[in-house]
Amino acid sequence: MEPIESITFVVAVVLSLVLWSRWYLCLVRVRRLALSGRGMLLLALAPVVAWATTTAVVLAYGDAVVRASPLWIAFYLFLGMAWTGGVALLMPLLGIHPFIDAIERRNAIAAWPVAGTLIGAGLAFAGGNIGDGPGFWVVLFSAALSTGALIGLLIVVGVVARTDLRVTVDRDPAAAFRLGLLAICMGAMLGRAVAGDWVSPGATVREFLRDGWPAAALAMIEIGVARFPRTPRPNGRFELDLPGLFAGFVSIGFTVTQLIVVGWWR
């Protein structure tokens, strides 16, 4: 490793340990506040799923030099852990706080979009690891494009459709379910949009715009669906309605179709 790579490795390890130790210590500390077991499980497992995704992608489709070295595999694992830890810090920008909304306010459904955003960020980062390149900085460049677009689109959805209020105030499970799926689906599409062998920054941006625009289309679909008003039941609570559930699975179908159409990376 070059000195800059060694420094980056150390910084990634330190950030990973600090950010995720804090995350899991918070989960342990607030366990007594009686968040549902399902909500706790989502918050505990989502980061692990994101890290496992990055590791699996690096092992299967990363640079040939990286795949042949346990040290480089560990480098990108910790880089991904630090990356998703940074996304966890940015989560309040989406209008949903992982611990205040999901745990302190005992709003179990808020764990769904939090978990989805972390997994989506893991997919976006994993896409930047696919293909051969001259150094780790190309992974950071590609992942910054995909993750930045993911966070930006989620913010737009939250601001325009007020999905954050539907989750945190109305406690609408359909909105929370769709928002979590939306983050995962957009993360997959945006990660695919930055996948492939490195050519140049300009080529990466062009391919990202060419292959990643359906993520914005999916965000617009969610805005359209979320604009339809829902009426709570007499007890004041919303139920997981079939149209909302169907809309969420439409996102999955849209994403799978997009990935098939775009095809394998080059």
Q: What token pair was written down for 85?
A: 């830890």
Task: Give the relative orientation of helices 111-128 and 136-161 as an angle to the nearest 10 degrees.
Answer: 150
Q: Is residue 86 scored above 90 in pLDDT?
A: yes
Find the radius of gyration of the CA atoms of the chain: 19
Averaged confidence pLDDT in the chain: 85
Look-up: residue for tokens 């992982």? 98
Q: Which of these ranges, 138-142, 195-199, 230-234, 252-256, has the smallest mean pLDDT?
A: 230-234
Taking the C-alpha atoms of residue 88 and residue 97, their distance in angstroms, rounded to an integer, is 9
Average pLDDT on 1-23 reads: 90
Q: What token pair was written down for 220?
A: 């617009």
What is the Cβ-side half-sphere exposure of residue 112, based on CA atoms within 13 angstroms? 22
Q: Which of these ranges, 22-26, 28-32, 45-49, 101-105, has the smallest mean pLDDT?
A: 28-32
Encode pLDDT of 92-149 as tens digits. 888 888 877 777 777 778 888 999 999 999 999 999 999 888 888 999 999 999 999 9
Q: Is residue 31 scored above 60 in pLDDT?
A: no
Whether residue 167 contacts residue 179, with contact meaning beta carbons closer than 8 Å, is answered with: yes
Taking the C-alpha atoms of residue 186 and residue 65, their distance in angstroms, rounded to an integer, is 29
Q: Between 190 and 227, whose confidence is greater?
A: 190
Taking the C-alpha atoms of residue 51 and residue 180, their distance in angstroms, rounded to an integer, is 18
Q: Is residue 234 scored above 50 in pLDDT?
A: no
Instruction: Give me the pLDDT at residue 185, please.
Output: 94
Q: Which residues contact 114 (CB under 8 A, 6 or more apart)?
A: 42, 43, 46, 91, 96, 98, 102, 180
pTM of this structure: 0.90
Could you tell me which of 9, 3, 31, 52 has the C-alpha nearest to residue 139?
9
E strand or H helix that includes residue 75? helix 70-90
Give the percent of the chain with pLDDT over 90.
42
Instruction: Give me the pLDDT at residue 233, please.
Output: 55
Average pLDDT on 39-56 reads: 89
Whether residue 119 contacts residue 50, with contact meaning beta carbons closer than 8 Å, is answered with: yes
pLDDT bin (cut points 50, 70, 90) of residue 46 is very high
